[in-house]
Structure 1
């Protein structure tokens, strides 16, 4: 029972497989224990993932070709399909005079490995979890009668735990990738529960929630700069959570100010499968500058580099006069550039051009290292 319980601890901690396989070696008298996720492909058998006991892992670099399936005649599509879901030995997989068997056993003997016992557990699609046990070379006839029984009892649990572990690791990888993507957004994003307890943030939000902002975190809860603002914020969060799942429910809106700095917040509740609703806060900062590189506007608007620098300046709130002074050109030159940009973008006024720039996907992108 202990080994059955321990195998499920490997789901979220794959590093524990090595210790579990050490225990399997002790239980069965094996000298080596290897666990593999095998995928059948059109023209080959692919080893997706592998773990070994401590001894095998230490010497893996010396015997990788023999233990991972590369050139191993046991790892053959025909044999896998024929012998899945049961305990097998080499007597089940090969004819005694099979040259492939003889070559394999000679190679394994050189690595100190003798008799083989294995089990394949079918997974989704054409994937299998394989357990391969080897006795030490020169230790006699092989495994005693208790080893197959042990393997038969443990294999379904190993298959389930390994399958769950692969899905868990895949989900964790996807979550890390999603976090990395959302960290690129200029807009701050915060997910909290109905009480305002922060559960997730992107990079822009982590920067915004630092001291001095109209919005902060205290004891894990979102708070405003003043008690009245905190009360209003919590009220809006709770209302958004109550509206979660209601068809056509509109976002709620809130502005928080502190020392001339203003935050605009949109709040939208979403139902959760595992408990109370969660609330997404999307936050923009009045002090945030749209520092989009000028060459981006060249690509998006089809303007020249000089015209793109003007668009970048206007998106940051600079005047034509300030841009002319910074660039060391006349105001007339800048006005002529503006006329050219308006014509190329199909806009008619400076305000319309700025609205186009601020509404562009480029304006929502966090600058590298920002």
Structure 2
């Protein structure tokens, strides 16, 4: 069994809280931000270091009175089933909870200061829940508020013990616990957002690359590899390049010039196969890090199209050739691909009358008198590059 590398804390509960001891606890608190599973152990260190004898329980929870609810974040020293009973029966509406809701963030509150011991002894919460454990006092730290919920560190125990050392220590630890909880919440939010974005990118039916202004690959989704195997791109030394020299030149020109904001073109791969490419310039993000600034993406590149989706470059070509609006061009290309007016209306979540109105504009600008004529007209358009 490995020895515990953490510092040994004094067991003399009557000794003043040493600064080095509090500093060690502060370190453990911030370490728990990066390792949330260690919060229970951190609470055990706090109780073992600062609490008087027989004060062995501590927990962090979100609690609301309307509707009554409790969600335990971490706990130590609680008997089996206590969390479940508290959340189901007492959360949010016993005397301590209601009174603590009034205090501001960062407050260290002693239950003896908010309710007389004798008065509390008459409550149903004490008689039916806390009395078997000899608990009639609570020292709490109010950490955060979110809507109707309050986040707090709660340390209960018997009221015949001296808790001044505990309260002094908690006043030092309280601001650090507040910051730690907020940092932890921010990290969790970012991780969820990053995970959702990664899942969405991997589910996309085309390749997505995030590049810096040197065309270094910062991120790529799961479909990126198939476009390299098909001969459209190279990613040697984690650098992005289109194998089609004219396409690569267009990409490099975009990097060098502030205009335009994006490109849409057809890249060529092995066996002269074509692949639609969309490139969007993004405002480069930067983030401070230890030792300097880390720069983010400058370009977002996508390759390929969704099954059944016409490449944007084709829609643009039809729009420019006949002077159609983007909406008219999308409908014209969809009809040429075999869709019906009903199909297009359902796909775009618009009314059939709105689609018929677009079709009238297409007929007027192209000179076609029917859908069949329109399809034939689009089929005779010269291919890209034929002039």
Q: TM-score range by the shorter chain?
A: 0.5 to 0.7
Partner residue in 2 for 1:264: 276
- What residue in structure 2 maps to residue 339 of structure 1? none
Answering whether residue 19 of structure 2 is matched by residue 18 of structure 1, we say no
RMSD: 4.2
The answer (yes or no) to whether the contact 1:117–1:134 under 8 Å persists in 2 is yes
1:94 aligned residue: 115
The equivalent residue for 2:299 is 279
Contact kept? 1:242, 1:269, Cα under 8 Å: no
Compared CA separation, residues 67 and 163, structure 1 to 2 (3 A)? farther
Indicate the SS of the match to 1:116: strand
* Alpha-carbon displacement from aligned partner over 1:3-34 (angstroms, at most 9, x marks no partner): 22332233343223222212112222341111
For the Cα contact (< 8 Å) 2:247–2:267, is it kept in 1?
no
Q: 1:58 to 1:157 in 2, by over 3 A?
A: farther
Moved more, 173-182 or 19-28: 173-182
Of the three residues 6, 19, 29, the one matched with 1:7 is 29
Q: Distance in 2 between matches of 1:122 and 1:168?
A: 16
Equivalents in 2 of 1:154, 1:257: separation in Å? 61
What residue in structure 1 maps to residue 139 of structure 2? 117
Deviation at 1:254, TM superposition (A): 6.4
Residue pair 1:290, 1:316 contacting (<8 A) in 2 also: no
Structure 2 residue aligned with 1:151: 170
- Judge conservation of contact 2:209–2:219 (CA < 8 Å) in 1: yes
CA distance in 2, matches of 1:176, 1:351: 48
Cα 1:208/1:32, change in 2 over 3 Å: same
| Stretch of structure 1 that moved more, 144-153 or 254-263 | 254-263
Q: Alpha-carbon deviation of 1:191?
A: 0.9
Match of 1:75 among 66, 86, 97: 97
For residue 214 of structure 1, the aligned residue among 202, 208, 232 is 232
Task: Quote the Cα distance in structure 1 between the aligned partners of 2:83 and 2:376.
Answer: 61
Q: Higher relative CO (CA 8 A, sep ≥ 6), structure 1 or 2?
A: 1
Q: How many residues align?
A: 298
The aligned runs of 1:1-370 (5 Å cut-off) are: 1-29=23-51, 30-38=55-63, 43-44=66-67, 46-47=69-70, 49-56=71-78, 59-61=81-83, 63-65=85-87, 69-76=91-98, 78-82=99-103, 85-98=106-119, 102-106=123-127, 107-110=129-132, 113=135, 115-123=137-145, 128-135=150-157, 141-203=160-222, 205-206=223-224, 208-209=226-227, 211-225=229-243, 229=245, 233=248, 239-243=253-257, 246=258, 249-251=261-263, 253=265, 255-270=267-282, 271-274=284-287, 275=295, 277-284=297-304, 289-290=307-308, 315=337, 346=359, 348-349=370-371
Displacement after TM superposition at 1:133 (Å): 0.8
* Gap change, CA 1:259 and 1:126, over 3 Å in 2: same
**2 CA distance for matches of 1:355 and 1:202?**
38
Conserved 8 A contact 2:32-2:39: yes
Which runs of 5 or more structure 2 residues have no equivalent in the other structure? 1-22, 288-294, 311-332, 340-354, 364-369, 379-387
Q: CA deviation at 1:35?
A: 1.2
TM-score w.r.t. length of structure 2: 0.61
| Inter-partner Cα distance in structure 1 for 2:73 and 2:173 | 16
Residues 335 and 371, structure 2, Cα contact 8 Å, conserved in 1 = no
Contact kept? 2:335, 2:375, Cα under 8 Å: no
Q: CA deviation at 1:232?
A: 6.8
Q: TM-score, normalised by structure 1?
A: 0.64
Q: Greater shift after overlay, 15-24 or 269-278?
A: 269-278
Q: CA deviation at 1:111?
A: 5.4
Structure 2 CA distance for aligned equivalents of residues 236 and 315 of structure 1: 29
